[in-house]
Amino acid sequence: MAFSLLSLPKFLPPHPSYTSLKGHRHHRHRGVHFKPLRLPSLRRLPAIGPDGKYYPTPSDEDPPEAPEDSMHGVDKFQQIHRQAARARKLQEEDFNKHKSNYLSAIADVDEDELSKEKTGNDDGDDLFGEIDKAIAMKRQEMVKQGLLEQAPKKAEAIDELDPDEVVDLEEIDKLRGLTVASDSDEGENEDSDDEDSSKFDVCLSDSEGKERGNDKFNLLDPSFDLDLDSFGKSKVRIVEPKFKMSLAELLDESKVVPVSVYGDIEVEITGIQHDSRLVSAGDLFVCCVGRKTDGHLYLSEADKRGAVAVVASKEIDIEDTLGCKALVIVEDTNSVLPALAASFYRHPSRNMAVIGITETNGKTTTSYLIKGMYEAMGLRTGMLSTVAYYIHGDNKLESPNTTPDAVLVQNLMAKMLHNGTEAVVMEASSHGLALGRCNEIGCPGESDRGKRPMMAKIATDKSEVTMLTSDNPKSEDPLDILDDMLAGVGWTMQDYLKYGENDYYPPLPNGHRLFLHDIRRVAVRCAVAMGEEGDMVVIAGKGHETYQIEGDKKEFFDDREECREALQYVDELHQAGIDTSEFPWR
């Protein structure tokens, strides 16, 4: 039996292959049938050397090759984080280097852009709007860090009123303060004729009455309190002016020739004072010599309060002071103070009309009259008096009840000029006269006894009816003061009391009438009660004072309030049919 052996190639395919031997399809050999020969699958044989030993391929034992590391052991997230940190650092360095430029650039940025986003008023796809928001957010961040101040809130725009709306607004202003009487109040008032006589009602029109019912405005209810003095007047904001100059400039402007100068005269001055208690940082302290004290004794206090320079008339040592940098020695500090003050405040009186009022009595009253006349001409007029300081109109400042000194006068006039004042009325008097009363007629106790007869004589000459009463009698007997006043018309207290026994007080030689009452409240009511239509009643003596001094007691007393109560009281009497035009009346 013949076999043919198939030779194997050097490299076989990886998959198993099959080889079969077949006899001829029609061949038979001794009845033996040949079946296909199935060979096992062959695989790649390892390398066998000539010596029969196994030699593996080097690449088969090497570990798998790792992919190339382009991130140097850092993942992508960490790389992004590091890049952002480097960018922030560069940004901070640039900001610190140009901080002033950045802050000035966004100092005036409108922060309303943020509020638009919160309220839903943004414009959506507006690119420039988004930029504005980003800048506004940056400014807000600077504010939180304390690098910028909070932007002031803008005033909301107010639409102009129509003429009809203006008229309605004026009517509303007129009706402010009026109280509405309810139906229950009206029912209670019906039970009392006296209450009905002291009140009157302003009823609504028929059409309004149908809608509003019986509501009425009660004008003379005891709770009704309308401030007639401030009615229709408005306050304006007073702006404080700022002044500063070097000490050298001040000496040059004021033409003050010093005896000697020590220290740095280029130091900046922001204020001037001669009262150490009023000194503030940056002030020039002038050591004035008064009747009771010497300003040189208070240099230490002025220094502690921040004085940076001193004007004195005595040699003093400033080396031990805290902040005084210059000393100017002059012959008389009292004489140079007005010139220094006027120069420091830039001579405000040169740009305003100034009216000075002198004399012993009546300065305050005259000042008010002149102020009123100037304002009636349309001029903004200020006033300086022992009673009050006015910038202009009704803009009143606190007053120490004395004529202001040279520094305060210049300061107040500079403030007036800065706020648009065109004229100023001021009392001009000596220190002794400034301590007295400045009203038309006033005869208080313990002072000016010699003028009492003259005051009564002037009053009876100028007035048809004169009512004498007490004005701060203090420790004196009010009747003794009135007796001194009666001497001005040739009467005595005994004469007056004798006339009173018969309820008849004869007229004076000039035909005028004279009455008196030692209780001021009663005297005010008498004067108001005797007034008739067309008469003018002048309540003199106290003026702005709101007190009455009798003995050791100082009690509240306001002539203005007494006049209002007297008018209401007399009106009630008139409605009750009582004639009050003749004195005495019960």
Return the HEC string of 196-246: HHCCCEECCCHHHHHHHCCCEEECCCCCCCCCHHHCCCCCCCCCCCCCCEE
Q: What is the mean pLDDT of residues 509-538?
A: 89
pLDDT at res. 584: 55
Determine the Cα–Cα distance for residues 415 and 411; give it in Å rounded to an integer. 6
| Contact in structure between 414 and 343 (CB atoms under 8 Å) | no
Distance CA 308, CA 252 (A): 18
Q: How confident is the model at residue 91 (pLDDT cuts 50, 70, 90)?
A: confident
Angle at 568 between CA 566 and CA 570, to 5 degrees: 65
Indicate the DSSP class of residue 114.
H
Angle at which helix 76-97 crosses helix 99-106, to 10 degrees, equals 80
Residue 114 has pLDDT above 60, yes or no: no
Question: Kind and range of the H or E element at 406?
Answer: helix 406-418
| Most trustworthy range by pLDDT among 6-10, 97-101, 216-220 | 97-101
35 pLDDT higher than 70: no
pLDDT > 50? residue 2: no
> Backbone dihedral region of 88: left (phi > 0), alpha (psi from -120 to 50 degrees) or beta?
alpha
Q: Scan for tokens 């012993």, then name that residue.
A: 360
Burial (CB count within 10 angstroms: exposed 0-12, middle 13-18, buried 19+), residue 363: buried
Provide the mean pLDDT of the chain: 76
- Spatial contact of 527 and 456, defined as CB atoms under 8 Å apart: no
Residue 374 tokens read as 């100037």
Higher pLDDT, 428 or 121: 428
pLDDT at 586 over 60: no
The three-state DSSP-derived secondary structure of 336-371 is: HHHHHHHHHCCCHHHHCEEEEECCCCCHHHHHHHHH
The pLDDT-based confidence of 134 (bands split at 50, 70, 90) is confident
Find out whether 268 and 249 touch, Cβ atoms under 8 Å.
no
Tell me if 425 sits within 8 A of 367, measured CB to CB. yes
Percent of the chain with pLDDT over 90: 31
Q: Is 334 helix (H, G, I), strand (E, B) or coil?
A: helix
Q: Which residues pair with 326 in a beta bridge?
A: 263, 309
Categorize the per-residue pLDDT at 4 as very low, low, confident or very high, splitting at 50, 70 and 90.
very low
User: Distance (Å, rounded) from C-alpha 570 to C-alpha 558?
Assistant: 18
What is the predicted pLDDT for the residue at 199? 35
User: Which pLDDT belongs to residue 428?
Assistant: 76
Residue that has been written with the tokens 């100059």 in this structure: 245
Give the Cα separation of 407 and 497 in Å (integer).
53
| pLDDT of 564 over the 80 cut | yes
Higher pLDDT: 128 or 33? It is: 128
Most confident of 16-25, 60-69, 87-96, 314-323: 87-96
Residue range 399-415: average pLDDT?
Answer: 82
Give the residue, 418 or 193, on which the prediction is more confident. 418
Residue 146 to residues 58, 102, 119, 200, Cα–Cα distance (Å): 72, 14, 27, 62
Q: What is the per-residue pLDDT for 58?
A: 61
Is residue 245 pLDDT above 90, yes or no? Answer: yes
The alpha carbon of 484 is separated from its chain's Cα centroid by a whole number of angstroms, namely 51
Give ∠ CA 339-343-349 in degrees, rounded to 5: 90
DSSP per residue, 547-563: EEEETTEEEE--HHHHH
pLDDT score of 272 more than 50: yes
- Structural contact between residues 423 and 379, judged by C-beta atoms closer than 8 angstroms: yes
Q: What integer pLDDT is reported at residue 218 of this predicted model?
A: 43
> What φ, ψ does residue 474 adopt, rounded to 5°?
60, -125
**Using 50, 70 and 90 to split pLDDT, how confident is the model at 19?**
very low
Q: Is the peptide bond before 584 cis (omega within 30 degrees of 0)?
A: yes
Report the alpha-carbon distance of residue 78 to residue 557 in Å, rounded: 85
Assign 48 a pLDDT band (cuts: 50, 70, 90): low
Contact status, residue 298 vs residue 251, Cβ threshold 8 Å: no
According to the model, what pLDDT value does residue 244 have? 93
List C-alpha distances in Å: 448 to 84, 215, 248, 485: 89, 57, 48, 12
β-bridge pairing 353-357 and 381-384 = unpaired
- Would you place residue 399 in the very low, low, confident or very high pLDDT band (cuts 50, 70, 90)? low
The pLDDT value given to residue 130: 76
pLDDT at 33 over 70: no
Reduced to 3 states, what is the DSSP secondary structure of residue 49? coil
Give the pLDDT confidence score for residue 16 in this predicted structure: 47
List pLDDT tens digits, range 143-198. 888 777 776 665 555 566 666 676 677 777 766 655 444 444 444 444 444 444 33
Cα(108)–Cα(104) distance, integer angstroms: 8
Whether the per-residue pLDDT at 308 is higher than 70: the answer is yes
Sign of the CA dihedral with 81 first, then 82, 87, and 90 last: positive
Among 432, 384, 405, which residue's Cα sits nearest to residue 286?
405
Q: Is 346 exposed, middle or buried (0-12, 13-18, 19+ CB in 10 A)?
A: middle
Highest mean pLDDT among 52-66, 348-362, 489-503: 489-503
Domains within the chain, CATH numbers bracketed: 245-344 (3.40.1390.10), 348-435 (3.40.1190.10), 450-575 (3.90.190.20)
Question: How far is 196 from 188, CA to CA, in rounded Å?
Answer: 10
Q: Is the pLDDT of residue 72 over 70?
A: no
Q: How confident is the model at residue 337 (pLDDT cuts 50, 70, 90)?
A: very high
Say if residue 572's pLDDT is above 80: yes
> Could you tell me which of 582, 578, 569 has the C-alpha nearest to residue 513?
582
pLDDT digits 0-9 by tens, 358-377: 776 788 888 999 999 999 99
Strands annotated E in 52-205: 179-181, 201-202
Q: Considering only 238-247, 259-268, 312-321, 566-575, which range has the smallest mean pLDDT? A: 312-321
In contact, 272 and 447? CB cutoff 8 Å = no
In this predicted structure, the answer to whether residue 29 has a pLDDT above a threshold of 60 is no
More confident position, 312 or 39: 312
Q: Cβ(307)–Cβ(323) under 8 Å?
A: yes
Q: Left if phi > 0, otherwise alpha if psi is -120 to 50, otherwise beta: which for 106?
A: alpha
Q: Mean pLDDT throughout 388-393?
A: 90
Q: What angle do CA 374, 376, 378 make, to 5 degrees?
A: 80
Q: State whether residue 494 is helix, strand or coil.
A: helix
Q: Which of 351, 403, 356, 413 is nearest to 382 (CA)?
A: 413
* CA distances for 250 relative to 8, 88, 259, 572, angstroms: 125, 53, 16, 65
The closest alpha carbon to 371, from 383, 361, 359, belongs to: 383
